[in-house]
Every structure is written in structure tokens, then in C-alpha cells.
Amino acid sequence: MMAGYFPSQVLSFWPEPLEIASRYAVISPDLNIESNKQRELALALNWFFAEHKSKLTTELTKFTFEDKELPQDNELRFRLQLDISF
């Protein structure tokens, strides 16, 4: 599930091209294995420019893993991404 909102619609001080967004996902990679769900919770800020053809995204995501036999540990990820469309 993903959702985004432009707070400038209700907050006059919020910059118009700045969107706040969140994402929540649950994944079960192998349905034959019990307790192996993976969860993802993210909070992002998107700055749109060039008439929404491009954006700069900064995101903080928390990953949690139920299956303790996997080599992954729960982790926190920071991402900065530039999307350019022509």
C-alpha cells in the first residue's frame, strides 16, 4: 500500500512541489514455509520539478524479517534517488 500527499494544499508554509509519502508492504516469499514474512515500512519526501517530469526522492525504510534462519537482519535503509524524464 502506498500513499502520497501534498501538504501545501492545507499548509501555506509548505513548498508546493514537496510531497510526503509512505509505503507499507508485506511479502511472503515462500508460502510453504511458516513465519517467513518480510515487512517494509517507508517514509519519503519527493521534490518534483520540470512540471512533475522529474523528482528527487529521499526515503527512510525499515525492513523486518520473521524468518530468523535467513542471513538478513532487520535493517534501516536511507535512499536518495533522482528520477529524470525527458
pLDDT, residue 33, reads: 72
Q: Mean of the pLDDT values across residues 66-76? A: 77
Which residue has 517494509 as its cell numbers?
Answer: 40
Mean pLDDT of the chain: 90
Domain that holds residue 73: 2-83
Counted domains in the chain: 1
**18-56 pLDDT, tens digit each:** 999 999 999 887 777 777 788 999 999 999 998 888 999
Rg (CA), the chain: 17
Question: Distance of alpha carbon 10 from its chain centroid, rounded?
Answer: 23
pLDDT, residue 76, reads: 95
